[in-house]
Amino acid sequence: MKKFYFRLQKVLDVNEIREENARRHFADAERARGLQCDNLNAAESAVSSQRVLFRDSLTKGIKAGDALVNHRFGQRLQRQVGEEKRKLQHAEEVVSDRLKDLTEAARRKKMLEILKEKEIEKHRLEVTLAESNEQDEVAGRRYTAALRMKEIDG
């Protein structure tokens, strides 16, 4: 019997590679988003700590120049938090894009796998039918040969 050959196997192989690459890119984007989230949490923690220290220093009494420096430092930390939020938002957009890419790659691969399964099933049916026809032919030959023998003997 003929061996099964899937005409689109190379396309399926390429799509499997694309899906694996998309999976890696998505994982990298997720890691980057996690790191950016950690950076944002650290910046927010620094702002919170600076506010507590500033309040404590105001209650104890500090010089106006020190208070101004402390206030400017707090503003700088606030700007850093804003920048970290923008970076996190960008990282989340990248994750979303990578997830779309992964979903599309998985969809294409799944479509080809379904097509391959259908082709395999079609091949199995053809092989089964060919074997059945072959068996019918052999049985027919035996029956015909038996009839001929009866005619010769009879």
Q: List b or e across 117-152, with b for residues whose CB sees 16 or more CB atoms inside 10 angstroms.
A: eebeeebeeeeeeeeeeeeeeeeeeeeeeeeeeeee
> 7 falls in which pLDDT band (50, 70, 90)?
confident
Domain ranges in the chain?
Answer: 9-111
Mean pLDDT of the chain: 90
The one-letter amino acid code at 77 reads L
d(C-alpha 134, C-alpha 113), whole Å: 31
**From the CB of residue 29, how many other CB atoms can be counted at a distance below 10 Å?**
21
d(C-alpha 103, C-alpha 121), whole Å: 27
Taking the complete model, does pTM exceed 0.85, yes or no? no
The CATH fold assigned to 9-111 is Helix Hairpins (1.10.287)
80 burial class (0-12, 13-18, 19+ CB within 10 angstroms)?
middle
Secondary structure of residue 4 in the 3-state scheme: coil
pLDDT tens for residues 94-140?
Answer: 999 999 999 999 999 999 999 999 999 999 999 999 889 888 888 87
